[in-house]
Chains A and B, each alone.
Chain A
Amino acid sequence: MRLNLTCRLVGAALLALATGHALAQDAKVADELAKYREALADGNPADLLEVRGEGLWQEKRGPKNASLEQCDFGLGPGKLEGAYAQLPRYFKDTGRVMDVESRLVHCMMTLQGFTFEQATKNWYSKPGTESDIEALVTFIGAKSNGVKINVPATHPEEAKMAKMGEYIFYRRSGPQDFSCAICHGQDGKRIRLQELGNLTTQAGAGEAMKTWPSYRVSQGTVWTMQRRLIDCMRQARWPEPKYLSDSVIALETFLQKTASGTVMATPGIKR
């Protein structure tokens, strides 16, 4: 896995060089590359996170002193191979369409006895505060590497969620008139120097979704898809959605459905 990550890092650096125009020496690009190299030299922190996630998965914790090993992500209790790739999906026991994070929190509550507040308190890391959810999602995501994203959304509740995600994707509002489609609805565009894929096509959505969760060099940590989308809503100048809210799960369902067929390769490496 380490080798794999290293290859991808070097690949990203080379790609940045190759696609950079005559002004590749541009300070910003050089800065990015320096950061990549730095990440390489220290080893990728996402590796450590994955290992920590595996530990958390097996560790007996919480008021019920239980591990998460019986958690069911839709393929059966404890079956993690390929689980991330088929999420979000409808779960009979909760009657809801859930993504990897909402399901994980569900298991922390039902199996380990944590309250919702306890389970989600550090859903993303801050300098000096680690996030168990980030570590667990990194571990669970890697268990789908090499597996095709497969969210056909055939269950009526899933189909509905995908449609609702589509609605939000095109919904414009806020002081900049933004929607997701403004930044992610066309091929080959970029905002400043950041490449923006076309998330409405299988190729574009696949290219993006297969890499999440992703290690973000600029943030020094792994971001989950919830974190990614909540930040995109911030960029849209909207108020802040609740963690695990249906809107975010609906967008994920829409995007994973569009991306279906693409082979997962996590954790990705991002700016």
Chain B
Amino acid sequence: MKLKFALFGALTATIASAALAQSSEPPGGKYAKEAEQMFRNSFREDNPKYWMRRLDQDETMKLCSQYRDNPPRKIGARIEQMNRESIRYPVDGKLIGDWKEGEKLAAVGTGGHIGFIQPDPAGRVRGGNCYACHQLAKAEVAYGTIGPSLQHFGKLRGNSEEIVKYTYDKIYNSNAFTACTNMPRFGLHNWLTPEQITHIVAFLVDPESPVNKD
């Protein structure tokens, strides 16, 4: 009886560790280092240095890549903590801006494309591109599904101080709540300014915004 238990225990432990080894092997396996070198050497020499910096990875990116965006809980918690600390607020402290501005920013998917074949022209507006991944206003049917629907976000969640702050923080740095989410960290990368983020917050929570009204 005792032996049986011990055997059973040993067996499940073996199975568990085999499964673990399988799923936790970082992409690239033993070639990861070499692959990084190869990747870096694959870009045109005439890419300006400041473009090449886009290939640098911060700790969050490194960990997320290593764990295929599915880090163990403890590491996930560390990533979230690290990203929470990065959040900055507008100087006047106001987190709700103009939803009409936010509506425009949410729809813009251009900006930030580089390279020699089809770069964005200089000065091209950089938007939040929220519709690439989210359903928002009812009237816009060309929405993606990588993220959850945010239709009626304010209607469902309200616009308490707590919700407003959560919404701002989430857009500023999505990884503060969900380590390795597919959602970009708009504030951290200065892709959107704190002020622009307040406009998008308004688009999500203002009762008059088409996200909530229709």
Q: Which residues of A contact B (CB under 8 A)?
A: 23, 26, 28, 124, 160, 163-164, 166-179, 181-183, 185-186, 188-194, 196, 230-231, 233-235, 237-242, 245-248, 250
Contacts and interface: CB of A to CB of B under 8 A. Distances in A.
A1 B99 CA distance: 53
Contact of B42 (A170, A172, A186, A242): A242
A176 B183 CA distance: 8
A164 B32 CA distance: 7
B29 interface: yes
A246 B35 CA distance: 10
Interface size class of B (residues with CB under 8 A): 35 or more
Contact of A26 (B41, B112, B131, B142): B142
A235 B191 contact: no
A251 B117 CA distance: 20
Contact of A237 (B38, B44, B114, B182): B114
A246 B39 CA distance: 8
B158 interface: no
B191 A176 contact: yes
Contacts of B132: 191-192
With most chain B CB atoms within 10 A of its CB, the pick from A176, A183, A196, A230 is: A176
Contacts of B30: 163
Contacts of A239: 43-44, 47, 51-52, 54-55, 114-115
Interface of B: 27-32, 34-36, 38-39, 41-44, 47, 51-52, 54-57, 60-61, 64-65, 68-69, 109, 112-119, 131-133, 141-146, 182, 184-185, 189-191
Contact of B35 (A178, A188, A234, A250): A250
Contact of B38 (A189, A190, A246): A246
A192 B131 contact: yes
A194 B42 CA distance: 28
Contact of A160 (B31, B57, B60, B113): B31
Nearest to B109: A192
Nearest to A235: B113
Contacts of B113: 234-235, 237
B144 A245 contact: no
A236 to B, nearest CB: 9
Nearest to B40: A247
